Structure formats: C-alpha cells, structure tokens
Amino acid sequence: MEIRPMVSAHVPALAELEKQCFSTPWSAAALAEELENPHAVFLVACDAHTVYGYIGMHHLGDEGFITNVAVSPDARRQGIGKSLLAAAAAYGQTHALYRLTLEVRVSNAAAIALYETCGWVRDGTRPGFYRAPTEDAAIYSLYF
C-alpha cells in the first residue's frame, strides 16, 4: 500500500467508500470537482488494485482544513488512518502551515482516539454540525 495524490481513476472507489463510511456521503461528482479545486489536497491509500482509504483537505492560507478521512471498514485497525494523517501532517510541515483542523462526531470514539494518539488536540465543539443524525462535532487541530 502507498499513499498517492487522488486522480480521476480513484473517484468511483472513493464515492463507494463514502457510502460505506458516512451517513451523508460525497457524490462521485463532488469528489471529481475537487480535482479541479486549486486549494484541494486529496491523498489516497491504495495498491495497484484496491483503494483502502483517503484523506481530503483544503489548503487555505497557512491552514489546512480536513474535509474527510475515510478508511474501508474491511481495512480498519491496520494503520491506514494513521498513515493518512501522517501524510497530511507531512504536507502541512512541508508547506509551512500553522495547523490542520477537522471536525469529528462526538460519538466517534475510534476516530477521536486515533486523532489524539497522533497528537491532535480538541479545540472546541460545533453544536448540531452533523445531520442524519444530528450531532455535535468536536473540533480537533494539529499545530506545527
């Protein structure tokens, strides 16, 4: 497995992964639009035949805003999420970002544990941020 920039050939697999991981998934069209977004940085964990996960980020000024982190349910607990977060952190350091930030459902204990293990800190809460079901988001940041 390696982590590489998203290309158009990844879009169908990422759209399927979105459906497996999120109650309000991004469509293939929305993912494809990110290929044209000059602020988008999307990295895919894959081998020659399989997409295992991805991380999407928007780089604006001196900050990076993580839009999604998704790992296939069949590939979880194998270090893929940690590798994707490390790749985003490496990007942040290389591009002299001040911080990366993301939102996570407050009930997503597994993701929160991963973020905290990787050095992310909780900065606050966004009440009612998520839909289907409605839930607060915890805001996490990784400072450089």
How is 48-106 classified by DSSP, letter by letter? SS-EEEEEEEEEETTEEEEEEEEE-GGGTTSSHHHHHHHHHHHHHHHTT-SEEEEEEET
Overall number of domains in the chain: 1
Residue 84's pLDDT band (cuts 50, 70, 90): very high
Q: What is the mean pLDDT of the chain?
A: 97
Average pLDDT in the 116-134 region? Answer: 96
CATH number assigned to the domain comprising residue 43: 3.40.630.30
Spatial distance between the Cα atoms of 139 and 144, rounded to a whole number of angstroms: 17
pLDDT more than 90, % of the chain? 99
* Annotated catalytic residue within 52, 115, 130, 140: 115
Residue 111's pLDDT band (cuts 50, 70, 90): very high
The predicted pLDDT at position 38 comes to 98
| Domain of residue 91, residue span | 2-143
The predicted pLDDT at position 26 comes to 97
Q: What's the pLDDT tens digit per position in 51-67? A: 999 999 999 999 999 99
The predicted pLDDT at position 42 comes to 98
Residue 116's pLDDT band (cuts 50, 70, 90): very high
Residue 119's pLDDT band (cuts 50, 70, 90): very high
pTM for the predicted model, two decimal places: 0.95
The predicted pLDDT at position 8 comes to 97
- Whether 115 is catalytic is yes
Spatial distance between the Cα atoms of 80 and 127, rounded to a whole number of angstroms: 29
- Whether 103 is catalytic is yes
* Annotated catalytic residue within 18, 52, 54, 103: 103
